[in-house]
Every structure is written in C-alpha cells, then in structure tokens.
Amino acid sequence: MKNSSAPITKYRKDYQPSNFLISETHLTFILNEQETLVKSRLLLRRNPKADLEAKSIQFDGENLTLQSILWNGEALSADEYKVTDEGLELTKVADEFELVTVCKILPQDNSSLEGLYKSGDKFCTQCEAEGFRKITYYLDRPDVLSRFYVRIEADKSRYPLLLSNGNPVASGDMDDNRHFVEWQDPFLKPCYLFALVAGDLDLLEDQFITKSGRTVKLQLYVDKGKLDQSDFAMQSLINAMKWDEQRFNLEYDLDLYMIVAVSDFNMGAMENKGLNIFNTKYVLANPQTATDQDFEGIESVIGHEYFHNWTGNRVTCRDWFQLSLKEGLTVFRDQVFTEDMRSKAVKRIDDVKVIRSHQFAEDAGPLAHPIRPDEYIEMNNFYTVTVYNKGAEIIRMIHTLLGEQAFQRGMALYFERHDGQAVTCDDFVSAMADASDIDLSQFKHWYSQAGTPQVSINYQYHKDEGRMTLIVKQSNQHPSSKQPFLIPLKLGLVGRSGKPQSFSLEKQDNKVTETLIHITDSSQVIELYKVDESSVPSLFRDFSAPVKFDVNYTHDDLAFLFAYDENTFTRWDAGQQLMEQCIVSGNDALMSNIAEAFKQILNDSTLDNAFKARALVIPDLKTLFESHSSKGVDFLIERRRSLKDFLAKSLEQDWLKQYQSLHQLSDKSLDQDSIARRSIKNLALSYLVCASDEHAELLKQQFSQAQLMTEEISALSIAAHEQVRPAQSMLDDFYKKWHQEPLVMDKWLSVQSTIDSDNVFEVIERLKQDPVFSLKNPNKVRSLYSAFAGLNFAQFHRKDGKGYRLIADTVFELDSINAQIAANLSKQFSGAAKLDKQRQKQVAAELKKIKNKPNLSKDVFEVVSKTLE
Ligand code: ARG
Ligand code: ZN
C-alpha cells in the first residue's frame, strides 16, 4: 500500500461476480536462496454470468517483480498492460486466452508470513485470505475456482521434500543437484487454498480406511528430531476422520492427507486442500512438553482443519464477507467433536467463557461487527472471535431450534445444492430452513446485526394457581441492531427439594421438565402451568443463546441453583453470578455464603472433578470488567483479590485435603478422569499458596518431581503469580531444562509477563533480549506481549500508563515486520472507551503516536483509527 493513498474500504453490497474465470492454473516454482521465480500459465475465459463486454482485467499482485509476460504466446505492447502497486491491469482480452507471466519474489525476506515465506530452513505458504497475490498475479478472490497444476524445482539436498495440493504425478532429477516434483489437485479450488512446502523434514505416516473402503495415506511432517511429539496429532486426525463419517456422514475425498508443522505462523493452522499447514503449537506434544490443555487444543485444531475439507473447501465462500459461512460452521463442528470426545457439559462451559470474556467485549467496542461484516479495510482483521465463535453460536442455535436430525438433513441438503460452489451465508440458512419446518427469516438478524442482546427476565410464582410467569424483555445497544432477535430460551425449573420440577406450557398439556421457548418480541410473557411448588427457574440452559441475561434472582436463588441445578452450565453460571455480585456489590457477607457453597461442592464426591475445577474459579477480570466497567478497574481488582484471599484462607484445610488426596505424580494418564483430577488439584494448590506461604514447599516438590508438563507449569505459574520466594529459582531451573524447546519457552515467557508486579516491565525488557525471543515469531509475540495485555489486567491498566506504552511501542515496532500480528496486538486497546477518563486519555495518546507512524500498514490503521473514533 502506498502511504500517500488513504486505505480503501470494501463493502459487501458492492459484490460483483468476476468478469473472467480461470479454467486452469499452471505454476512452476523455481526455489532458490536469493530469489524465487514463479512462472504462471493461466487459461482464462469470460464468465457467462458477468459482464460479457468487459474490456480489461485487474489481476491482484503485491511485492512482485514482473520479469516477462506473454498473451497467447505473444509479447504485449506497453499500452496493453500496466503494473501498479495493487496488481496488473490487462487491457487486451478475448473470450478465451492464455496468459503467461514470470515473477520474481523474495520469500527469505518476507516477514509478513503471508504468501510464500521461509520458516526456519523450509519454504511454506499462507494464502488465506489474500496472500496468494504475493506469489503471482491472479484473481485473488474465493469465487474464482480453478484446477491447479504445480511444479516445484529446488536444491535436492536442502529440500528433498517438495509438497503441494492433491497428488504427486511426476518427479525427477535435474542438473546442479536440483530436482522437481509435479502435483495435480483433482478438485477445483480458490487460490486461498493453495499450498506449497519445501524442506527436509521427518515424517510420521499412517493410514485411514474410509467407510466406503478407500485407503487414505496420512502424512505428518515435523522438524527433524520431533517425531516423539507427533503421535497425538496423528491420532487426533484419525479420530476426526472417523467422527466426521459417523456424525456428519462426511468422508475424505483424496488419497493423501498431509499436515506440515511450522514454527513461524500467524494463526493456528490452515486448511489448504490436502496439505494443511499448522503452527507447531497445534501439532507437537508429548506429556513432558505439553499440558492437558495443549492436548485438547491440538485435537480441536486438527479436527477443525480436517472438517474444513467439507465446510470450507468442497463448499467455499463467495466473498470474504461470508467468512463465517465456513468458520462459524467449522468451529461449531470442532466444538461438537470435542464434546463427543471428552465431556459435553465441561466443553460448553469452556466455550461460553471465551464468548463472555472476549466476544462480548468485541461486540461492545469500536470493532464490533456482525458475524457477516458489511465492510472492511483489511480482511485479516476480521478473523475475529465474532466471526468464529459467535458465528459458531449462531450455528448452534440453528442446531438447537431444528434438533440434530433436521440439522443433519439441512447439512445434507446444503452439500447436495452447493458442492463445488462458492456460496453465501444466506444459502446455508436456506438449506437449513428448507430441510426443516422452522421459519428462519427472523433468525437471520443474527447475521446482519452486531452487539450482544441483553435479555431481562422477571419471574414470579403464583402459588394459589400453581403458575409461574416469566416476563422477558430483549434489547440491544448496538446501532445496527434495530430488529428483535429470535432467541431460543431453554429452561427448566428446580423445585424446593432440589429436584427438577415439572410444568406444562398450556393449561391442558402434559407436563415436562424442560422446554425450548422461542423469544421473538422485544417484550414477551411466558406462562408455565401446573407448577406444584415454589421453584427457581433455570434459564438459558446450555447457554442456548449468546446473550447477556439478568434475572430477578435473589442471592439465595443463585446459591440454590449453584447447589442443585441439574444442568451443568446453568449450575456453573449461578456460581459465577453469585461471585460477580459479591465482587461488584462490595457485600462482604456474601463471601461466607460463597465459601459455604464452595465447601459443599469441593467435598461432594459424586461430582465430576472437571466441573469442580471450573465451578470454583472466580470470574476473571476481563469478564468482570466487560459487564461492570462503571465500577472502575481498581475497584474490581481489589475486590476480586479479597474474594480470592477469603476463599483461600477460610477453606485452607479443605484445599489442603483436596490437594493431598488427589496428588499422585505417578498418574501420567491423559484420560478424562486424570485430567480432571489434575485440574482441581492444581486449583486447590493455587488457593493454598494464596492462603499462606507455608505451602510453598508443596509447590517446590511438585515442580521438581513433575513428570508431566501440566504438573510442572502449574507449580511454576502458581509460584510466579503468587510471588512466593522460590519462584525465581524455579524459573531459572525451568529455563535450563527447556530452553531448546520453543513451545515450552512460550509458556515460560507468558508466565512471567502475566505476573502482577511492578517490576514486570523490567522483566519483559530482559525477556525481549533473551535468545529464545524474537519479534519475528508470532508465538513469541503472543506469549510475551499479548499475554501481558490480555491477561495481566492490573499491570496493563496501570494508572501511570506504562502498560499502554509498552504495548503501543511494540505495535509500532512490529508494524513494519508483520502487520497482521501488529494489528492483532493493537486490538488490545479496543476496550478503552470503558475506562476512566485518565486512562482513556493515555490510551488515546498512544494510539495517536501509532497512527502517525510513516508507512503505517492498513491493518494497524484500520484497528487504530476505529478505536480512536
Ligand atoms: N482458515 C484458517 C482456520 O480457521 C485460518 C486462516 C486465518 N487467516 C488469516 N488471515 N488470519 O482454520
Ligand atoms: Zn477455520
């Protein structure tokens, strides 16, 4: 982008089909250390469904040096094409023609990690969303589907492996110790799904037999020496393939599935057809290097990328405004995969936490957008928790409204209609509506309106009539949200005995213990009949809609639900609400009630440990601040601290008992029970150490004897965060032991950057200079700086503005290295409007400095200017 021209906003309403299509794409890559040549031969034809009179074509291209160009084999005159900063304009066209270009690119200097670049000593690519234009001139848009033929040439010793999409069809030696491999992908695909890898890697191989009996070869490529961290990812892939056949009736469609792990990667992973490229974080793991949570993350991302093969690749997006078509749906699929592989109820709680702490904040801030955005400057800025996670909630609501069977009919119809096409969110919803008898027209507001609906519910029990009335009101602050939403409300009643209380919806109906109500109006009354005893309504069970809700519950109601609700989500949520009220009200008496409830749950041996480990966690500051910013940063920090202290000290003996009874370092199993035991045990340890330094001895022991990373890092991070004396020597020991494992060092960095201590700034400055750190590596930036801004609430929001300055300076420095990561980091300021005036001023001053940077990327420009508005 030229700094002279203002960045251009693109609008969804401006969509036009491409005037030309690309029947065949033939690419030859001549890879070298100094420069890479990309020869492209495109067979173009007019799009019968677009402007048949079009007299020119605009090809996208960035940072390319055009070496030669041929039109149907002949040279073009200077007035027949024009090279600009954004691409190549061709003013000579025909109904069908061939265009050959040769471009020079410099992958070794490409620190944006988009297009073709080098990670360590291998070449790799990342093309979504608009990275292919950094490889060659092309129609870089998802609705142009082409057949790809790829030839890769490189030095044979350095790059024995040359990979691309589809199947290898030829290979051979060349002069000068070089060789080539040719690949063909039988499926039409948009260029964002193109991939290339060249390097020298270790290989783990396996196979999968599909339900129709085809054998698929599975290949997992990792850096040399990392095979001992590869088994779990392979097993996850096999599980994902099996699960998608069983639950969605979807089978893999090529003979080969490859995954390559690279350490320099902007996101989690990428679903390139037949050749996924992954961040090492989501591949490499063994119990010594990775935590229980890391394993779950790997399983879900491996699943996610695999599931994209149908929801994303076979059916793709018409334009990038439709991103949630594939991402919301695929996140939903990966969430359900994890629910089926692990615990459904617990996974739901974990997913809701992400919505409440991150997505609600995004929806309430300057970067709020509908799951299907209407405009963007830089598409990379829209790979958001709204498009992904709220998008998944929207799909989940469709699933809730239709039920599993009708939902699966809708999926089948969607594929029947659209296999091989690039389509829109509307197409998806139509398939779902047509396959069921549910009218989804009002439901579609979820696609076009931003902001989080606020639902207020007032319940009242009329004893003499055995009737419960719920008055439900919905509202939404966001200016785009003028129409009421269709909100599925799943509810039940908990009777005074703690047992489910049945009810009926009409006076004559049979009784049920749970129901799904469609909230459609801004104000609506629900009557429940035949309610025999005074009961407490349990509302939004399983978090049936991504809304904020408040109910006229008393503290006793909440404590009651926390003790008895049969629905795991609402039970957990009641505890969270109780703690939230205790924190924001300043009501100290409530602390004892909470401690009492904690004690009961802690000592209830019938309860799942995984549930306990979530129920006994105090809501984090980000979540608290999101709903209660008016209380002020300092008040919330202080109140949360005293609640934690109180729960730690008043239950000290219970925590200790819990810790001692569950502490079995010999248990190295990764099954659900063992994971759950470790999580409640380590939570107990953190309360214990908070209660008294005396328990630091337990920490040291656990740390030095640990055989699992979960045990080791839990002890380390508790020591560091509770700031007990042995912390520094533990950090040093950990470094000595692990400094050669980059993924483990990521943990070491973030443990330190999230310590709530005044000297964290010196620590971060020192860590920035450490050889394990590099600003060029996104995992490192996330571990040190995003962790600081996102998780070290107190220090990031320091009164003196030091926290804001640290992040702003980093964004500034990072902008010229990797704009995408810089823009991501700059989103940490998007909550500024909720801060007090003094802090707002400090943030604004930092943002203005960034905005004035010469040659500021459009990525950061978009975030910063919207935040300043
Ligand atoms: N499609 C990838 C995934 O969700 C992520 C691509 C992200 N791209 C980006 N430019 N941020 O699996
Ligand atoms: Zn995805």
Asked whether the predicted pLDDT for residue 4 surpasses 60, the reply is: no
Strands 167-173 and 178-189: antiparallel
Asked whether the predicted pLDDT for residue 3 surpasses 50, the reply is: no
Q: Which residues touch 412 (CB under 8 Å, ≥6 apart)?
A: 249, 435
Residue type, 407: F
**Is the shortest distance between the CB of 787 and ligand 1 below 6 Å?**
no
Residue with tokens 């700086």: 785
Identify the residue whose C-alpha is closest to ligand 1 atom 8.
128
Atom of ligand 1 nearest to the CA of 131: 10
Residues lining ligand 2 (ion), CB within 5 A? 327, 330
Mutate which of 270, 279, 308, 825 for ligand 1? The one with the most ligand atoms within 8 Å of its CB, which is 270
295-343 pLDDT, tens digit per residue, is 999 999 999 999 999 999 999 999 999 999 999 999 999 999 999 999 9
672 CA distance to ligand 2 centroid (A)?
26
Q: Tell me what the mean pLDDT of segment 473-500 comes to.
A: 96
54-73 pLDDT, tens digit per residue, is 999 999 999 999 999 999 99
Closest ligand to C-alpha of residue 392 is 2
Rounded-to-integer distance, Cα 321 and Cα 10, Å: 10
Asked whether the predicted pLDDT for residue 197 surpasses 90, the reply is: yes
Q: Tell me what the mean pLDDT of segment 20-28 comes to.
A: 99
- ipTM entry: 0.98
User: 215, 302, 247: which is closest to 412 by C-alpha?
Assistant: 247
- For residue 2, the model assigns a pLDDT of 40
**Is the shortest distance between the CB of 143 and ligand 1 below 6 Å?**
no
267 CA distance to ligand 1 centroid (A)?
6
Distances (CA, A) of 592 to 557, 639, 650: 16, 14, 9
In DSSP notation, 784-819 reads IIIHHHHH-HHHHT-TTSHHHHHHHHHHHHHHTT-H
Q: In whole angstroms, how large is the CA radius of gyration of the chain?
A: 28
Residue type, 624: L
User: 791, 834, 784, 836: which is closest to 810 by C-alpha?
Assistant: 784
Q: How many residues does the chain have?
A: 869
Identify the residue whose C-alpha is closest to ligand 1 atom 2.
270
In what helix (H) or strand (E) does residue 199 lie, and over which residues does it extend? Answer: strand 196-199
User: 208, 315, 299, 205: which is closest to 259 by C-alpha?
Assistant: 205
User: 866, 865, 863: which is closest to 378 by C-alpha?
Assistant: 863
- For residue 5, the model assigns a pLDDT of 64
- For residue 508, the model assigns a pLDDT of 85
Asked whether the predicted pLDDT for residue 461 surpasses 80, the reply is: yes
Residue with tokens 């009630």: 593
Mutate which of 337, 383, 387 for ligand 1? The one with the most ligand atoms within 8 Å of its CB, which is 383
**Is the shortest distance between the CB of 267 and ligand 1 below 6 Å?**
yes
3 CA distance to ligand 1 centroid (A)?
27
Atom of ligand 1 nearest to the CA of 327: 4
333-381 pLDDT, tens digit per residue, is 999 999 999 999 999 999 999 999 999 999 999 999 999 999 999 999 9
**Is the shortest distance between the CB of 304 and ligand 1 below 6 Å?**
yes
- For residue 666, the model assigns a pLDDT of 85
Rounded-to-integer distance, Cα 832 and Cα 14, Å: 32
Q: Tell me what the mean pLDDT of segment 846-864 comes to.
A: 98
181 CA distance to ligand 2 centroid (A)?
29
Backbone angles phi, psi at 517, to 5 degrees: -105, 140
Atom of ligand 1 nearest to the CA of 312: 1
- For residue 507, the model assigns a pLDDT of 87
Specify which residues 29 forms β-bridges with: 38, 152
Closest ligand to C-alpha of residue 192 is 1
124 CA distance to ligand 2 centroid (A)?
19
717 CA distance to ligand 1 centroid (A)?
30
**Is the shortest distance between the CB of 299 and ligand 1 below 6 Å?**
no
Rounded-to-integer distance, Cα 641 and Cα 680, Å: 20
Across 13-160, where does the E strand assignment appear? 20-30, 36-46, 57-60, 65-71, 74-75, 81-83, 87-90, 96-105, 115-119, 122-126, 146-155
198-207 pLDDT, tens digit per residue, is 999 999 999 9
Task: Please count the CA atoms within 13 angstroms of the CA of 110 that sit on its side-chain side.
Answer: 30
3-state class percentages of the chain: helix first, strand second, coil last, to nearest 5 = 45, 20, 30
Say what angle helices 633-650 and 589-602 make with each other, to 10 degrees.
50
Identify the residue whose C-alpha is closest to ligand 1 atom 3.
270
User: 75, 46, 64, 84: which is closest to 137 by C-alpha?
Assistant: 64
Q: Which residues touch 522 (CB under 8 Å, ≥6 apart)?
A: 473, 474, 475, 484
Residue with tokens 């039920």: 403
Q: Which residues touch 798 (CB under 8 Å, ≥6 apart)?
A: none
**Is the shortest distance between the CB of 159 and ligand 1 below 6 Å?**
no
- For residue 355, the model assigns a pLDDT of 98
- For residue 643, the model assigns a pLDDT of 98
104-156 pLDDT, tens digit per residue, is 999 999 999 999 999 999 999 999 999 999 999 999 999 999 999 999 999 99
User: 428, 455, 180: which is closest to 325 by C-alpha?
Assistant: 428
**Is the shortest distance between the CB of 270 and ligand 1 below 6 Å?**
yes
Closest ligand to C-alpha of residue 383 is 1
Averaged pLDDT of the chain: 97
**Is the shortest distance between the CB of 327 and ligand 1 below 6 Å?**
yes
Asked whether the predicted pLDDT for residue 624 surpasses 50, the reply is: yes
Q: Tell me what the mean pLDDT of segment 554-559 comes to.
A: 97
158-192 pLDDT, tens digit per residue, is 999 999 999 999 999 999 999 999 999 999 999 99
Catalytic residues: 305
State both tokens at 655.
């925590």
**Is the shortest distance between the CB of 380 and ligand 1 below 6 Å?**
yes
**Is the shortest distance between the CB of 305 and ligand 1 below 6 Å?**
yes
791 CA distance to ligand 1 centroid (A)?
23
Please indicate, yes or no, whether the overall pTM of this predicted structure exceeds 0.90: yes
In DSSP notation, 373-408 reads -SEES-GGGG--HIIIIIHHHHHHHHHHHHHHHHHH
Residue type, 206: D
Q: In what order do the strands lie in the sheet with 81-83?
A: 57-60, 87-90, 81-83
